[in-house]
Amino acid sequence: MKKSKKNVFRILSVILMFVMVVSAMNGNTVSAKTAKAKTDKKKNVVVLYFSATGTTKGAAQRIKKATKGKMISIKAAEPYTEADLDYGDDESRVTKEHESADSPAKSSVRPKISNLKSIKKAVKKADVVYIGYPIWWGEAPHIVYTLVEGVSLKGKTVVPFSTSISSGLGSSAKHLKTKAKISSKTKWLKGRNFYDIPSQKTVNKWVKGLKY
């Protein structure tokens, strides 16, 4: 090969290597961008729950673990004592709440929530809001109505869940939805009930199967 031809060959090789290095770098940037887009798509989850005796709290803790979300309890400004929860007593707080109307949706009893402000702040940032409660007389407790009437769920995916001894979720979540601050963009999922505190495995499977 002549010297001039060799030089041309060398220059072309250098150019080719340069092009290969630059395109590899671009490739890395594209895959980094794709990875970032995937991370960005990760939903921001908040798990809200009201629990008088700890069962719903147990379910919420497992949902928090499964979703890697934030968990906040719905705190009654006036906490429910054991006597308040005695549904066998005609004069107890829960019986009076229950008897205030045909259903909690129709009642004007709305127990105050002491941490509503921080709940609102967390919900604002969230894409998905789990709302958990114990079943009381087949329905969500009145305080959960205070929540859905007081906190905007517009554009959010709402996942109701409950715990009970023998009743299921029933129409409790459907009734809550009728009073909730929602929009046409709110995705209100069917939700589910757990009899007692569910296992982590049960919760993981349920959460994995949800479409949001």
List contacts with ligand FMN (CB under 6 A).
Answer: 51-57, 85, 87, 94, 134-138, 163-167
- Alpha-carbon distance of 64 to 71, in angstroms, equals 6
Smallest gap, in angstroms, from Cβ of residue 30 to ligand FMN? 48
Complex with ligand FMN: residue 18 or 195, whichever CB lies closer: 195
Do the bridges between strand 157-164 and strand 128-134 make them parallel or antiparallel, or are there none, so unpaired? Answer: parallel
Nearest approach, Cβ of residue 207 and ligand FMN (Å): 19
Query: Between 143 and 158, whose beta carbon lies closer to ligand FMN?
Result: 143
Closest CB 124 distance from ligand FMN, rounded Å: 26
Least distance between ligand FMN and beta carbon 182 (Å): 24
Q: Which is nearer to ligand FMN, 61 or 137 (CB)?
A: 137
Residue 138 or 150 having the CB closest to ligand FMN: 138
φ and ψ of 19, to 5 deg: -60, -40
Rounded CA-CA distance 9/7 in Å is 5
Q: How far is the CB of 63 from ligand FMN (least distance, A)?
A: 13
Nearer to ligand FMN among residue 97 and residue 177 (C-beta):
97
